[in-house]
Amino acid sequence: MPPSIHPVDLVATLRQKNLTPAIIFLTSRRACDEAMQAFERSQVVLPKARQEQIAGVLTQVTAQFPSIAEHPLIGTVQRIGVAAHHAGHLPSWKIAVEELMRTGSLDAVFATTTLAAGVDFPARTVVVTQSSIRKARDFTDLTASEIQQLAGRAGRRGKDLVGFAVITPSPYIDLTVLTKGLTGQPEAIHSQFVISYPMVLNLLKAHPREQIQSILAKSFAQFQLNQRTAVLETKLDGLRAEMEPFGPRVCSDWITQWQIFDQARKRKKPRGPAARQESPDVAARLNFLTPGRVIGLVRGRGIILRQYRSKGQHAPMVTLLREGGALNECPASIVTQVFDRTYECEETSTYPWTTPQTLEHLTHQLAELPPRLPILPILIHPEEDVPLDSSIIHTLGDFPCPSCPSRQACQRDFPRASRVRQEIQRHTKSIQALQTSLWHRFQERIDVLERFGYLNATAQLTTDGEWARLIRIDHSLLITELIRAEAFGAIDPPLLAAIMASIAHDDDRPGSFPRGSAGLVTLLFQVRKLAESLMPHEEPPMLRADVAALTERWVADQTLTWIGLARLTTMAEGDMFRLFARTIEFLSQLKTLKGTHPSLAESADRAIAAMRRGVLEELP
């Protein structure tokens, strides 16, 4: 079985079931173009009348947008009644396809999912072949809202009694995502409020700093933060109710009081041998395990050479000389009996902890010990609470707690009360954070702008700030810094357009492009360095040299036609168009700086005029 249905068969099936016109959503531009090629190879041709209808609509659109006339796909579309519609096409061609769909002249359109969000043309049927889309280099599942947007194109008001959403499997499909999306509720939307440099400058131009907080409070972001605050506040109310029985006692803030007392008491606890976790019998025996003492083990006997504490756990340890001359390091608990006999033992500070003579002597003695030896009676104190030392009671005397009447109640309630109090403090802090987070972010931006000299110390606009606030596009900080660094001194329009294009373009689709002039390469190098230095304050743009070179060519060479330009690169026409449109948008922002930077504004104006020709002029 093929991984997915062949586009020609797909359209044939839809036609046969009377489900046309249809929009078929495919995963990529390439898939759309390949589907069109498959149709070109097939022998399916529309009847004459339908072909004439398409030709008629196309002539009408061409009257408005002459560039369509030479579009290579016109013949195919007319013959087969199917078209592709994606971002790689010129807007004028897309308008033509939309018009054809609106008049009902086409049977099917292959489109990418970007269409769902963009223009608005419905059909009787929508075919979905995927359950995920590419977002920022990664495939993510379609959301219920997106699926309903796609499916929503099915069924034309006034032209259809019912609409159809048809799912056909491809390797990119997860049926449950789609069925859930079709039957589910659309997702709630969340604010995406970000504070940009132009926003800060423009707000501070119109309002003093004291008013900003109340303006930020009007944002949807703050509205949604307040909703979260409300949740926390109900939780807080619950906790406060829980806190009720732990109100003031003998002292008003007994929790803190008890906490400090408790800590002081713990710190003062005697830290002698008794504090160590040893069983009473081992502790009692420990005093007798001196060097030279004969002791009994589970099997055999031995002589103690040394007593010490282990490094990590501080467990009591002994070094033993055993029968047969073996030396062992053992925990003191290994000792089962302490005999009433000791030998002279000369101690040394290194292994074997005694002189060789003594060792030899002791080994000899051990071998000759009589089988029965008298056992040393050792009194074992049972474990008991060590009463507080009088000196400790003295230092704790500052606390009223030991003799307080509510001492028992405090001791009992303290764990719970302190936990609840901690929770309350935590919630109060997060509520504060929710209330002030926007303002803090705003303040951070103010600090950066102050450092760069767009704002003075009282957060008022400086002369630089006055013009910088007019640059209200992405990467505004880079652009204003470039202007201040006089990188655009007396710049030629082609070079200016090229730099703006490299800042504006945010697509990483690869391709082959013409080469830029030497001047462009040097300037772009400088722009890159500046962008890198601004990195902590603003995400640097892609600054692609290839798209810059393409723009430079288009502006510099006025004899170049659109078709000629398209031959110089593998970039899709639609992408080229978008690049230039966005560049013009950026340039027109520079044009607003007429008052302060007349030569730059002039250059931008000339660049815009030079860019608007051919397709860019005719098009909306």
* Window 441-480: residues binding other proteins (CB under 8 A): 469, 472
Which helix or strand (DSSP H or E) is residue 24 part of? Answer: strand 22-26
Other CB atoms within 10 A of residue 152 CB = 15
User: Does the protein bind other proteins through residue 190 (CB under 8 A)?
Assistant: yes
- The correct pick among 321, 479, 584, 600 for binding other proteins (CB under 8 A) is 584
How far apart are alpha carbons 233 and 230 in whole angstroms? 5
- The correct pick among 176, 277, 350, 408 for binding other proteins (CB under 8 A) is 176
Within 6-25, which residues bind other proteins (CB under 8 A)?
9-10, 12-13, 17-19
Give the range of 199-207, 316-324, 433-441, 509-517 binding other proteins by CB under 8 A. 199-207
Nearest approach, Cβ of residue 565 and other proteins (Å): 18
How far apart are alpha carbons 288 and 362 in whole angstroms? 18
The verdict on whether omega for the bond into residue 540 sits within 30 degrees of 0, i.e. cis, is no
Report the phi/psi class of residue 345: left, alpha or beta, with left for phi > 0 and alpha for psi in -120 to 50: beta
Amino acid symbol at 296: G
User: Does the protein bind other proteins through residue 372 (CB under 8 A)?
Assistant: no
- The correct pick among 15, 79, 180, 407 for binding other proteins (CB under 8 A) is 180
Contact criterion met (CB below 8 Å) for 473 and 529:
no
CA distances from 536 to 321, 453, 486 (A): 69, 17, 22
Give the range of 3-11, 345-353, 382-390, 594-602 binding other proteins by CB under 8 A. 3-11
How far apart are alpha carbons 149 and 129 in whole angstroms? 15
Residue 338 buriedness (CB in 10 A; 0-12 / 13-18 / 19+): buried
- The correct pick among 534, 581, 601, 610 for binding other proteins (CB under 8 A) is 581
Nearest approach, Cβ of residue 226 and other proteins (Å): 9
User: Does the protein bind other proteins through residue 218 (CB under 8 A)?
Assistant: yes
Judged by beta carbon, residue 91 or residue 541, the one nearer other proteins is 91
- The correct pick among 43, 192, 349, 458 for binding other proteins (CB under 8 A) is 192
Judged by beta carbon, residue 185 or residue 512, the one nearer other proteins is 185
How would you classify the pairing of strands 108-112 and 22-26? parallel
Q: What pairs with residue 317 in β-bridges?
A: 308, 331
Give the range of 150-158, 297-305, 400-408, 438-446 binding other proteins by CB under 8 A. 150-158
How would you classify the pairing of strands 108-112 and 82-85? parallel
The verdict on whether omega for the bond into residue 245 sits within 30 degrees of 0, i.e. cis, is no
Nearest approach, Cβ of residue 541 and other proteins (Å): 13
Within 62-121, which residues bind other proteins (CB under 8 A)?
91, 94-95, 98, 117-120
**Cα torsion at 578, 583, 586, 591 (round to 10°)?**
-130
**Cα torsion at 432, 436, 437, 438 (round to 10°)?**
150
Total binding residues for other proteins by CB under 8 A? 90
Give the range of 200-208, 258-266, 283-291, 490-498 binding other proteins by CB under 8 A. 200-208
Among all chains, which residue has been given the structure tokens 């041998």? 273
User: Does the protein bind other proteins through residue 596 (CB under 8 A)?
Assistant: no
- The correct pick among 63, 231, 275, 380 for binding other proteins (CB under 8 A) is 231
Nearest approach, Cβ of residue 533 and other proteins (Å): 24
Give the range of 40-48, 202-210, 366-374, 414-422 binding other proteins by CB under 8 A. 202-210
- The correct pick among 100, 101, 106, 151 for binding other proteins (CB under 8 A) is 151
Judged by beta carbon, residue 70 or residue 120, the one nearer other proteins is 120
Contact criterion met (CB below 8 Å) for 104 and 88:
no
Judged by beta carbon, residue 172 or residue 343, the one nearer other proteins is 172
Helix-helix angle 598-611:545-556, to 10 degrees: 80
Contact criterion met (CB below 8 Å) for 282 and 332:
yes
User: Does the protein bind other proteins through residue 137 (CB under 8 A)?
Assistant: no
Which helix or strand (DSSP H or E) is residue 317 part of? Answer: strand 316-322
- The correct pick among 60, 227, 336, 526 for binding other proteins (CB under 8 A) is 227
Please compute Rg for the chain using Cα positions: 42
Contact criterion met (CB below 8 Å) for 354 and 305:
yes
Judged by beta carbon, residue 49 or residue 188, the one nearer other proteins is 188
- The correct pick among 62, 152, 268, 341 for binding other proteins (CB under 8 A) is 152
User: Does the protein bind other proteins through residue 336 (CB under 8 A)?
Assistant: no
User: Does the protein bind other proteins through residue 157 (CB under 8 A)?
Assistant: yes
